[in-house]
Amino acid sequence: MSDPAALRLGWMLAALGLALAPTAPRLAPWITATFVIAVLWRVAVQHFGWRLPPGWLRLALAFGCVLGVLFTYRTFNGLEAGGALLVVMAAMKLLETRHRRDIQVLSFIGFFLVLMQMLHDQPVWSLPWIAASVAAITVALLQGVRAGEPLPWRTATGLVLRMFAFAAPVALVMFLLFPRVPGPIWALPARSAAGMTGLSDEMSPGNISQLIQSDEVAFRVSFEGPIPPPADRYWRGPVLERFDGWTWRDFDRLPLLVPDLELRGQSYRYRIILEPHGRPWLLALDFPGRWNDRDAVLTREYQLVARQPVDSVRALDVESWPAARPAATLSPITRHRSLRLPPDRNPRAAALGQQLRASSASDREFVDAILARFRNEPFVYTLRPPLLRGSDPVDEFLFRTRRGFCEHYASAFAMLARAGGVPARVVTGYQGGELNPLSNRLVVRQSEAHAWVEVWLDATGWTRIDPTGAVAPERIELDLANALPEGERVPGGFLRDFRGLEGLRQGWDALNSLWTDWVLGYGPERQLALLARLGLPGADWRTLVLGLTAFVAAVMMALTVWLAWRSRTSRPPEALRLYREFCRRLEKAGLSRAPEEGPQDFAARVARERPSLEAEAGRIVNLYVTLRYAAPPADEAVLPALRRAVREFRP
Amino acid sequence: MSLRSPSPEAGAPAASRLRSRVAHWIRRRQGPDGDPVALHRRRIYILPTALGAGYGLSLFGMLLASMNYSNSMGFALTFLLAGLGLVAMHWCHQNLSGTIARGFHLRPAFAGQPARLEFTLENPGRSARLDLQASCASASSAALDLAPGTSGEVHVDLPTQRRGRLVIDRIRVHTSFPFGLFRAWAWLHPECETVVYPAPAEHAPPPPRGGTEESGGRWNEHEGEDDFAGLRSFRHGDSPRRVAWKAAARGDELPVKLFAGSARGSVWLDWLSLGAMPVEPRLTVLCRWVLDAHAGGGAYGLRLPGTEIPPGMGPAHRRRCLGALALYPGGMGTEDV
């Protein structure tokens, strides 16, 4: 393709393809197909010299595509439909691309495609791809807009990279200092939680063991100071109080208006960097006492929740007291809720609970009796429990299958406790976390999802009981892989089995967590913290705008100076400068060169007027003439000779 | 292209009045231009193009989307592109700044054909300058790339419509490299003018007859095959009737027939010999005659009311005669470009 127009088009098509590729699988297939067809059509137009489709056809196609998007997505709003519209727009634009301006518009669409990809997902490994897409679009823009022939790709790429090198510091400082506004500006349909992994607000048998199949990172935690031992790492998520015999659900999430946590013992200060999960849980360590996110609320069940679902990476600083003692009294409503059982479900379990309570002296003993039962009877902790399908799943589990995962144990325990008259509720969240020695951060994955129980004991208030620990203490003390029976392994965690890859995996994870923390999690709170560290505590947006302006101005000045320096006129060759110096010295001695006088004429006149200088001047001029005009260029020794001769020339 | 009238601002629409004010201000500000002219920083103007505005708007959209989704990477991309825009602005300015323009020359032309403005752009800097363009009135040159330390020829073909004096008002040297987001330009005001000859008539009446000076000019006694004297290649202004089409079919040049008798004595091309023709058509016929006479190779003189150019030969003589026709009073006067 030596035809400049074809070359320009080729660049742009390649760049758009690069930008679209990561998003394509998320789009409805017909949209990607439309784009591909448009590309093929446009290439055919170029290659075979066809005419571009006429205006009415393009209009009809565009109209059809827009209707198609509306039909497929039922809306134009939101990321999916918006992205789809963008892609069909690009396709339609391709069909009328003829002029430079069209190429420019296509490149803008390309930038938006990249942005769309970022709004969906931005893991660290996608960074090189994103960078390549942006660079390719920019090169294509450069080529497409250029008035002359397209540049050789090396030159074009070099130019663009150099420009990016200058743009980068500006971008970095704007990134750090541009005032960040928390929260959405206009309400768009939130990203559906369906596409994201994470805890849900209900728990039925099988929920969590399903979640555990995912090796995805749920969140990362970096501690300021000591890191709690594994047995204390209970990350509190949804607290479930409503039980219908099968499923546990949460009631409401009312904020805790009167703080009733007695903070005592050791506290841990840490930062949680949450991956988006489409739900409001912020998953603080039990029990959060202080946090720095204005958008976070502590509920009456001590869950830290956000007002908006966590749709993008979010960082917050929390301080927790694992030994904190919750409220000393139980409100009648809560007591009622925490004791309620569906009357006609799981009758054997209900009977067992009542029986165990009757034979225990106190609530505490009753709780221990249940745990002892789990420990002593042949219960098995497994990721692959048999399916429970009856209307009395707890009965089925307790008396028949006896194989289960944390949700089975938590559910059964809470049910037994309630049957015995002890208020109980199920808490879901994560337990554990793997410490990455490189980043010194705790990585909590979906595979660490867990469920446990809280019972109300008069002496201690709400008390955490982890029935899984009774069956598989390794789950709590170590991790899931160690708790599973022989032959079962954590899905997706196969990398853990290879010693050699362990370091690699942790390095990768450290990189990921840095990325997530510093780039993706950089929000208003983080910005304020950075400013405080820079010595600007409590800086407001005015300071930011001022600082930003000053910095950008400084960079622009530097750029101006550099560009001016770069385009300064080329200096005369050294030989010429030396010759001028020679003439200047002669002029001081009263012999000035006439403007029209060539070097040799001048030397002849010098010889005539000052015979004493003849030899030296003649030699200098000869050297100069050799350097400047000799047909095969003079060898390297000539210039130093001239330099020396001129330096020593004293007329 | 506009007609230079005694008061250029009278009656013109506000926009063009403003434009002409600005043009005058710029000219006064810069002072007269010599040759060469260096495009210093102070005479370079830069503004975003419509596309640059579109770019800005897109960035704003991206910023809003990033804010709405609290998306850090979105912010990063937006700011990177904003930085790129700023760099492009500087690059664009610097691409022009320091360029040297020299050797302005405007070639004469026949009315209706383009008059070619030529000059040299020189890049004394250490980095390449790309996509330099010159424009004058509505005409633009091709884009020029200059490697460091090189120079290149620029030519702008200015359309002409009427005979007369053609004066270049100002030339714009501009570039929108790298991305077309910004356009940097400089105005040049070189002393540069030429004449536009009348268009040679396509169907000219036969030239005046007569063999001696007294009886009026005459050549081509027998315009016909008999006097065919040879071929030469086609030049602007030749009548299509004189093209040797048979010969043309054999080669890729357009041969024009030469006729004998042209060397025979000198002829007078006389205004009066065309009877009652109106001025402009009369001038076009005279133009045709001058061209033919020149092509014929003989000596010829030109008589216009108030002007008499004695018979002569050669390109300088031809230029003189054509110039006299171009500037014949009652014509269209001066054209500003």
Least confident piece of the model among A369-383, A510-524, A600-614, B249-263: B249-263
Structural domain includes residue B321:
yes
Beta-carbon contacts of A179 under 8 Å, excluding residues fewer than 6 positions away, are A527, A541, A544, A545
Q: Which of A168-182, A352-366, A627-641 has the highest mean pLDDT?
A: A352-366
Q: Are residues B45 and B161 in the same domain?
A: yes
Q: Which residue has the higher pLDDT, B247 or A548?
A: A548
Residue B16 has pLDDT above 80, yes or no: yes
B246: in domain: no
Work out the average pLDDT over A549-563: 82
**Which of B197, B221, B243 is a domain's end point?**
B197
Residue B302 domain flag: yes
Q: What is the ipTM of this complex?
A: 0.74
pLDDT-derived band of residue A503, with 50, 70 and 90 as boundaries? confident
Domain boundary among B182, B197, B212: B197
The pLDDT of residue A442 is above 60? yes
Chain B segment 216-275 residues within 8 A of A by beta carbon are: none
Whether the predicted pLDDT of A361 surpasses 50: yes
Share of chain B above pLDDT 70, in %: 78
| B331: confidence class by pLDDT, cuts 50, 70, 90 | low
Residue with the bigger pLDDT between A640 and A632: it is: A640
Contact at CB, A147 and B131, closer than 8 angstroms: yes
User: Could you tell me if residue B182 is inside a domain?
Assistant: yes
Q: What is the model's pLDDT at position B8?
A: 41
Which candidate in A130, A159, A567, A571 is best for mutational testing of the B interface (most B CBs within 10 A)?
A: A567
Is residue B221 over pLDDT 50?
no
- Of B73, B97, B181, which to mutate for an interface test with A (greatest number of A Cβ within 10 Å)? B73
Residue among B79, B122, B140, B181 with most chain A CBs within 10 A, to mutate: B79
pLDDT at residue A55, rounded to an integer: 83
The pLDDT of A107-130, averaged and rounded, is 85
B145 → closest Cβ in A119, A148, A168: A148
Same domain (yes/no): B276, B151: no
pTM of the model: 0.69
Residues of A annotated as part of the active site: 406, 450, 466
Q: What is the pLDDT of residues A234-255, one digit of tens each?
A: 999 899 988 888 888 888 878 8
**Per-residue DSSP letters for A23-36?**
TGGGS-HHHHHHHH
Is B145 inside a domain boundary? yes
Would you call A613 helix, strand, or coil by DSSP? helix
Number of A:B CB contacts under 8 A? 174
pLDDT at A373: 87
pLDDT at A569 over 80: no
Q: Assess if residue B214 is contained within a domain.
A: no
Task: Out of B152, B180, B197, pick the residue that ends a domain.
Answer: B197
- A443 - beta bridge partners? A220, A434
Q: Is residue B244 part of a domain?
A: no
- Listed range (A425-439, B121-135, B264-278) with the worst mean pLDDT: B264-278
Q: Is residue B226 over pLDDT 50?
A: no
Question: Inter-axis angle of helices A127-145 and B72-96, to 10 degrees?
Answer: 30
Distance from CA of B22 to the nearest CA of A (A): 27
Closest partner residue to A559 (CB to CB) among B54, B90, B124 is B90
Residues 386-415 of A with CB under 8 A from B: none
Picking from A105, A170, A186, the nearest residue to B83 by CB comes out as A170
B124 touches chain A (CB under 8 A): yes
Shared-domain flag, residues B10 and B149: yes
State how many domains chain B has: 2
Q: What is the pLDDT of residue B168?
A: 85
The answer, yes or no, to whether residue B332 has pLDDT greater than 80, is: no
3-state secondary structure A238-273: EEECEECCCCEECCCCCECCCCCCECCCCCEEEEEE
A117 chain-B contacts, CB cut-off 8 A = none
| Secondary structure (3-state) at B100 | strand
If one compares A313 and B184, the residue with the highest pLDDT of the two is: B184
pLDDT, residue B37, reads 85
Alpha-carbon gap: A437 to the closest alpha carbon of chain B (Å): 27
Interface list for A 554-573 with B (CB within 8 A) = 555-556, 559-560, 563-564, 566-570
- The yes-or-no verdict on residue A214 having pLDDT over 80 is no
Rounded to whole angstroms, the maximal C-alpha distance in chain B is: 96
Residues B153 and B274 in one domain: no
Q: Which residues is B259 bridged to in the sheet?
A: B228
Q: Is the pLDDT of residue A539 over 70?
A: no
CA B201 – CA B283 distance, rounded (Å): 8
> In this model, does residue A613 exceed pLDDT 50?
yes
Give dist(CA B102, CA B119) in Å, integer.
6
Contact between B68 and A146 using a beta-carbon 8 Å cutoff: no
Task: Give the confidence band of B222 by pLDDT, cuts at 50, 70, 90.
Answer: very low
User: So where are chain A's domains?
Assistant: 4-177, 195-496, 574-648
The confidence score (pLDDT) of residue A406 equals 85
Please report which residue ranges of A438-540 form alpha helices under DSSP H.
467-471, 473-477, 480-483, 499-514, 524-533
Residue B251 has pLDDT above 70, yes or no: no
- Collect all residues of chain B within an 8 Å Cβ-Cβ radius of residue A311: 69-70
Q: Quote the pLDDT of residue A638.
A: 80
Least confident residue range of A29-43, A526-540, B201-215, B265-279: B201-215
Considering the domain architecture, whether residues B178 and B271 belong to the same structural domain is answered as no
How far apart, in whole angstroms, are the C-alpha atoms of residue A388 and residue A385?
A: 9
pLDDT over threshold 90, residue A483: no
Average the pLDDT over A29-39 and give the result: 90
Give me the pLDDT at residue A328, please: 73
Q: How far is A568 from chain B (nearest CA, A)?
A: 5
- Would an 8 Å CB–CB cutoff place B212 in contact with chain A? no
B183 found inside a domain? yes
**What is the extent of the structural domain holding B327?**
263-336
In SS3 terms, A89-151 reads as HHHHHHCCCCCHHHHHHHHHHHHHHHHHHHHHCCCHHHHHHHHHHHHHHHHHHHHHHCCCCCC
The per-residue pLDDT of chain A, averaged, comes to 82
B145 and B285 share a domain? no
Q: How far is A158 from chain B (nearest CA, A)?
A: 13
One domain for residues B36 and B172:
yes
